A and B are shown apart, each in its own frame.
Chain A
Amino acid sequence: MANAAAHSGMAAATGLEPILRVEHLTMRFGGLLAVNDLSFDVARGQITALIGPNGAGKTTVFNCITGFYKPTVGRIALFSGGLQTDAAIEFVTNSPKRYRRTGEGAVFLLERMADSEIAAKANVARTFQNIRLFTGMTVLENLIVAQHNWLNRASGYSILGLIGAASFRNAEKMAVELAVAWLDRIGLTHRADDPAGALPYGDQRRLEIARAMCTGPVLLCLDEPAAGLNPRESADLNELLLSIKEGNGTSILLIEHDMSVVMEISDHIVVLEYGIKISDGTPDHIRNDPKVIAAYLGVEDEEVDEAEAELDK
């Protein structure tokens, strides 16, 4: 496990404790190797960006982290509280358990957990590249559904709710307050009773982020949050993400193509190409990395000619 050792060295070098540690993540779809031996850390309380050209495997990594795919190989550990020693991860890895909670905190092995369990227990929330709001439900309802798990418990699994118990009514009031607080932050309070599907695109993007935040996540995964936004909306998004990072202390992992967003707000960037990590570091480091420039801007002319000749055959 030389790689793993080098890995923890890296986290130590940056001086930040990780919230998520991805190790040797490999995802194979039949003959296609979408992600190949990828390892990186997401630092607690920071914004980490996952970038790369189209088809680099970024969304696949996301789907593995959030449990929508089961990785072929690899370990994805999420830490909450102060329990992020290597010994703690090894302990859970060697046990048949999916996660372990102690007084100090918890370790979750996300590759062993199902999607809804990851969201409910490990508190990882995500958004989608193509927005997935409940379009036929109102903006407010979207934010209330996000608080389903604790509200459902508060409704006594519907039994207390059916008889209209006061405890449930209070819980619902709290849920509405949280939703309204988020609506205020994204500036959509006046549209609370409109169907989510009737909102403009930029508002839908923000609402999806607010909905994810209503689940109370420790890690927020955003799949191209700035896609389709105009420059002003992108700037608003930057502000929102920074306020989530500072105000809520939520760690953020985002996939993004919009470099104005990535470079401005990220603390740390991981670059993927063809499923392989080609660079990993601060925005300044990435900006000047020749491998990244080659991946984004292409390579020497003669190689392009070769590729074209290949296509013409």
Chain B
Amino acid sequence: MATPEAQPRSENGREATDWLAAIKDAGFLALFTLGLAFPILVFRTRQDLSKGLVLDPRWELVATLVAIAFFARLGWLVFGGRISNAASSTATRIGETLAPLGEYKNVFRYGGLAFLIAYPFLAVLFTGPGGALKWIDNFGIQILIYVMLGWGLNIVVGLAGLLDLGYVAFYAVGAYSTALLSTHFGLSFWICLPLAGIFAAFWGILLGFPVLRLRGDYLAIVTLAFGEIIRLVLINWVELTNGASGISGIPRPTFFGLPFNASDSGFAAFFGLEFTPLHRLFFLFYLILALALLTNWVTIRLRRLPIGRAWEALREDEIACRSLGIDTVKTKLTAFSIGAMFGGFAGAFFAVRLGFISPKSFEFMESAVILSIVVLGGMGSQVGVAIAAVVMIGGTELLRELGWLKAVFGAGFDPTQYRMLLFGMAMVAMMVWRPRGLISKRDPSIILHEKRAIGGDLVKEGHG
């Protein structure tokens, strides 16, 4: 639109000259908004008592929107240059502040680890046993699950550059294999956990064989379909999976055989503590923390091994890899299966966390959320993925805390309904200001003289 002409002048302070152009532009946008809003927003339909259709006109709403569009556009045209500069420099600054975190690696690593270990105690300390339930479960455990899933998918998408839109399928395989093995055969969580990882890795290879000759968009579509197939099988194979109603009564994990209950043989009684549901949450928290850290450790190690370098080389240039004698099919399959394995581990944890699973937890939206965590974090960056998971999942959970907004927007206002909108806005903002994710720098996997981070502009995203 008219921005290119309007903006430089407003930056020079010669605003008087471009007011007309700006008003014209904003007026056009207002008209555009009106055109868009007219068929969608003007009438709200409802049924009256006689089941007849009633149209409630909502002209004030449309007028407000048009006015907002007009003034927002006008403001943007006049002050936009400054705002945009400020925003992009803020984004760059955030990125720059985050990037050197790599330099203070040890401080960050041990400080972060200490915080994570102390987190459940801090939660109890600050919010009391009642409030801590929410902080450990909804924030701690929930976020850590996504951190783990993000790290698992990061192997496939971030390192090997294979766009996988069906990652949740492996999460589902892990969860269902744990649920079925433990309810039907009475296997304990500790046996189910590795089995879930093996099954998921197996499915990763099974999916990999036919699809790895595909590239880019084609690969993405097929993985998307695979995710849906798994979900539909879970819904429709009622005899095995109990269909859409899911599997309940999955045995909860025990502390080396000590169940977390109020009985005499329970964990609390054994250690002479007073029974509280917090014990189990503490245990689950440390369990997922350990699993996530395992994922991280393995990924970091693998990156510095030939296989990890081959993954990254594959992301950079597949043809060149083949010319160097790297078997690209095997390399892709290892990435797929190792990524899937961690998805399976997370699934096993998910199954025992609530003792109940259903296909509803494994919809495409989950894959999309995990993928956006990887993309927002900066593909290939472990720290970036963790930060993105905290922001995205923690942010979503925080929306539940915004009940006071009802006072502003009326009783019908539910902030959690705006989750996807905020998600989308965050994505757009990132794509504009930091298209390579929060941490776009790449750390070399081997150093001769001194370490220099590699700018994101040189690193390729891979294309299938």
Give the interface of A toward B (CB within 8 A): 66, 68, 115-121, 125-128, 132-138, 140-141, 144-146, 148-149, 151-152, 154-155, 157-158, 161-162, 168, 172, 176, 180, 189, 192-195, 197-198, 211-212, 215
Asked whether A195 lies within 8 Å of B322 as measured between CB atoms, the reply is no
Query: Can you show 14 pairs from A to B with CB atoms below 8 A apart?
Result: A117-B325, A119-B324, A120-B325, A132-B317, A132-B323, A133-B320, A135-B458, A138-B454, A148-B310, A148-B326, A152-B310, A155-B305, A157-B307, A193-B449
Contact B458 A197 (CB under 8 A): yes
Residues in A whose Cβ lies below 8 Å from that of B279: none
Cβ contact within 8 Å between A149 and B325: yes
Chain B contacts with A in 271-286, Cβ cutoff 8 A: none
Contact of A126 among B323, B328, B454, B459 (CB under 8 A): B323
Pick from B306, B312, B444, B445: contact of A155, CB under 8 Å: B306
Residues of B435-464 contacting chain A, CB below 8 A: 442, 444-452, 454-455, 458-460
B401 contacts A by Cβ under 8 Å:
no
> At the interface, yes or no: B354 with Cβ under 8 Å from chain A?
no
B301 touching A195 by the CB < 8 A rule?
no
Question: Does B164 touch A at the CB level, under 8 Å?
Answer: no
* Residue B302, interface by CB 8 Å: yes
Known: A132-B320, A134-B317, A140-B447. 19 other contacts (CB 8 A): A116-B324, A121-B325, A128-B319, A128-B323, A132-B319, A134-B320, A135-B316, A137-B444, A141-B309, A141-B312, A145-B326, A148-B324, A148-B325, A149-B326, A161-B307, A162-B301, A172-B446, A189-B448, A193-B450
Select which of B324, B451, B455, B458 is within 8 A of A146 by beta carbon. Answer: B324
How far, in angstroms, from A127 to B319 measured CA to CA in the complex? 11
CA distance A152 to B307 in the complex (A): 7
Per-residue CB contact flags for chain B residues 309-346 toward chain A (1 = under 8 Å, else 0) read: 11011001101111111111000001000000000000
In the complex the two chains form, is A161's CB within 8 Å of B324's CB?
no
Contact B444 A140 (CB under 8 A): yes
Interface residues of B (CB under 8 A from A): 298, 301-302, 305-307, 309-310, 312-313, 316-317, 319-328, 334, 442, 444-452, 454-455, 458-460
A127 to chain B, nearest CB (A): 8
Is the pair B298, A116 in contact by a Cβ cutoff of 8 Å?
no
Q: Closest Cβ of chain B: how far from A123's Cβ, in Å?
A: 8
Q: Is B324 a contact of A128 with CB atoms below 8 Å?
A: no
The CB with the most chain A CB atoms within 10 A, among B305, B312, B458, is that of B305
Which chain B positions have C-beta within 8 A of A127? Answer: 323
Name the residue of chain A whose CB is nearest to the CB of B309. A145
Query: Which one of B320, B323, B448 lies within 8 Å of A140 (CB-CB)?
Result: B448
Task: Report the separation of the CA atoms of residues A189 and B446 in the bound assembly, to the nearest whole angstrom.
Answer: 14
Shortest beta-carbon distance from A94 to chain B in Å: 27
User: A136 to B305, Cβ gap below 8 A?
Assistant: no
Partner of A128 from the list B307, B310, B320, B328 (CB cut-off 8 Å) is B320
Is A137 in contact with B305, judged by CB distance below 8 angstroms?
A: no
Question: How many residue pairs at the A-B interface have CB separations less than 8 Å?
Answer: 139
> What 8 A-B pairs are tightest by C-beta distance, nearest first?
A136-B459, A120-B325, A119-B325, A134-B316, A132-B320, A192-B448, A161-B305, A197-B458
Residues of B within 8 A of A197 (CB): 458
Q: Please pick, from A117, A119, A193, the residue contacting B452 in the complex, using a CB distance under 8 A.
A: A193
Contact of B313 (CB < 8 Å), options: A68, A121, A134: A134
A151 and B306 form a contact (CB under 8 A): yes
A135–B460 CB distance below 8 A: yes
A-chain residues with CB within 8 Å of residue B317 when the two chains form the complex: 132-134
Q: Is the CB of B307 within 8 A of A176?
A: no
Neighbour of A161 across the interface among B301, B323, B328, CB < 8 A: B301
Determine which of B309, B327, B449, B459 lies in contact with A192 in the assembled complex, contact meaning CB atoms within 8 Å.
B449
Residue pair A136, B442 in contact (C-beta under 8 Å): yes
The CA-CA distance from A193 to B443 in the complex, in Å, is 10
**Would A144 and B458 be within 8 Å (CB), given that A115-B322, A135-B316, A162-B305 are in contact?**
no
Please measure, in the bound complex, the distance between the C-alpha atom of A126 and the C-alpha atom of B447, giving whole angstroms: 26
Q: Determine which of A118, A125, A146, A193 lies in contact with B448 in the assembled complex, contact meaning CB atoms within 8 Å.
A: A193
Pairwise interchain contact A162-B309, C-beta atoms closer than 8 A = no
- Closest chain-A Cβ to B327's Cβ sits at a distance in Å of 5
Out of B307, B319, B454, name the residue touching A158 (CB < 8 Å): B307
CA distance A140 to B334 in the complex (A): 24
B324 touches A125 (CB 8 A): yes
In the complex, A66 Cα to B319 Cα: how many Å? 11
Give A145 to B306 CA distance when docked, in angstroms: 7
Q: How far is the CB of B155 from chain A (nearest CB, A)?
A: 12
- Which residues of chain A come closer than 8 Å to B459, judged between CB atoms? 135-136
Chain A minimum-CB-distance residue to B323: A126
